[in-house]
Structure 1
Amino acid sequence: FWILFVAIGFSQEKKITPILLSSQQLVADEFIAMDSFGYYYYIKGNVFYKQKENELFQYKNLSLGKIKRVDLQNPLKIVLFYEGFNSVITLDNQLNETLSFNFSKIQNNPIVTSAVGLASQNRLWIFNSLQMQLGLYDFNKQVFQPLSQPFQNPIQFYQTDYNQFYWIDSNGLVSFCDVFGKISTLGQIPKFDSAQIISNEVMVYQIGNQLYYHYFKNNKSPQIDLDEKIVEKFLIKDQFLIIFTNSEIRTYQINLP
């Protein structure tokens, strides 16, 4: 009996319990992120906002339709992706427009992009859905350089940094490609609603209103124990977990293994 009891105890995944630090009211259609300076970024009425206490900046370009994605790796070069018009806008830290790209107008080699992210050396990660290929687009040369062979499965989720493009395909396979075109596979996860890859060893994914911390090496996913009935979006930054409900931002301290 005792051997069985101990075996069951060790087989159970230990939950990760964050500590609530603060909450702030926010009415938005979509919360994007918080930067290191305490600014909140969000979308409301298809207008992009940056806010901190009494400071408020905004950018709108309704002629390009819905903002599909925002890349905030560099607060001095924010990337807005308008998928419906196959276009990208870059903004400075006061949300002034600095560059504009319409990939349908590239001479000799038009691109239909379904994924965009900021890469190193004045380049963008681009997934060209015409050819089902991942590549890099050079700002200055206005040239697209393919890096991969055509993908076999659709992309369900993607995430970028300056040197890697991460994606999860329709089968739940997690992979990444570096700027030299080397592709590596990290593992597989179950069906999910949203995700954030923390490193090449771990990620967090969401199913419904529940979050799981996933280890690629042993394929285990301990639960993050949250007292939240609604999780519209989550973000892990340093040792903080930020949860956007339908009306507020809640910040937790989280000690991840």
Structure 2
Amino acid sequence: MKFTFYIFIFFSVSIFSQESIEARLISKVDLNVDTLISVDNFGTSYYIKDDVIYKKTNIETINYNNLQLGTIESANAFNPLKINLFYKDFNTIIILDNRFAEIFKIDFNTLSEYKSVSHVSTGHDNTIWIFNQDLQKLELFDYKSRITRAQTAPVQSAVLDIKSNYNSCWLLTENYLYTYNYFGSLLKKITNTGYTALAESNENVILKKENALLFIKKDSEKIIPIKTSNLLINQFFVTNETLYIYNHKVLQKYQLKTN
């Protein structure tokens, strides 16, 4: 009887270990940009070429440049009405509207409470998530009132990536993947076993490990591999259940079957 029970357990574990998510190729297109930021549900793409950010629709292409601030370290178009550009060399963030007009400039060097920022992502209302290198804390910063609304406890390892939506923020460090709410409270902590980058969509998380992608469903800690062909993954992001993988030459679009 015990032998039969152990066989059942072994069989169940084997099935579990083989669980994966299918990614069905929809299309691929040649693309030559420095950084692909995102593609929305309407096909509007945001990308960076030679430190100029572009927004391309079916009708037009618009751009914004601020070359005196140097290299764009990161850009976030999660909220297309408040796009943020981070110029790390100048410790400065520019906020753009949907027509790429500059609506806010945050120079952290000139604040009464100086902040040395290494990573930036979008928050709710007039806030942005920033990682304060001096304090080793993630902060929710209100760029209108110039105050910190929330902050986390210090983290003990180097930050690799950051992603957010209006409700939560995910901080990937060399040791852990942290999930925080907009009060700065820790919701979840998962050990990093080799992840180097992440993406988020509808509270679901996709992690990159070497040249593979893994999926963590909202309210779960189970890590499930995504079945893709042997691709070179330089950049990736997810819009709803559509996975985009870019290798600096070709953009591939996949449908994820997560249910």
Q: Show CA shifts across 1:41-67 (max 9, x none).
A: 111111111113452111111111111
* One-letter identity of the residue aligned with 2:184: G
Q: For 1:131, what is the secondary structure of its paired residue? A: coil
Counterparts of 1:1-257 in structure 2 under 5 Å? 3=7, 6=11, 9-53=14-58, 55-107=60-112, 109-145=113-149, 147-171=151-175, 173-198=176-201, 202-214=204-216, 220-257=222-259
Inter-CA distance 17–44: structure 2 relative to 1 (3 Å threshold): same
Give 5+ residue unaligned stretches, structure 2. none
Q: For 2:42, what is the secondary structure of its paired residue? A: coil
Inter-CA distance 238–155: structure 2 relative to 1 (3 Å threshold): same
Residue range with higher mean Cα deviation, 58-67 or 141-150? 141-150
Matched residue pairs, number? 254
Inter-CA distance 7–182: structure 2 relative to 1 (3 Å threshold): closer
* One-letter identity of the residue aligned with 2:251: I
Q: For 1:174, what is the secondary structure of its paired residue? A: strand
Following superposition, the deviation at residue 125 of structure 1 comes to 1.8
TM-score, length basis structure 2: 0.86
Following superposition, the deviation at residue 22 of structure 1 comes to 1.7
Q: Show CA shifts across 1:179-213 (max 9, x none).
A: 2232222422311232224466x532122332122
Q: Percent identity?
A: 26
Q: For 1:41, what is the secondary structure of its paired residue? A: strand
Inter-CA distance 20–128: structure 2 relative to 1 (3 Å threshold): same
- Give the Cα–Cα distance (whole angstroms) in 2 for the partners of residues 8 and 117 of structure 1: 38
Give 5+ residue unaligned stretches, structure 1. none
- Give the Cα–Cα distance (whole angstroms) in 2 for the partners of residues 112 and 34 of structure 1: 30
**Superposition RMSD on alpha carbons, in Å?**
2.6
Runs of 4+ in 1 over 6 A off after TM superposition: none
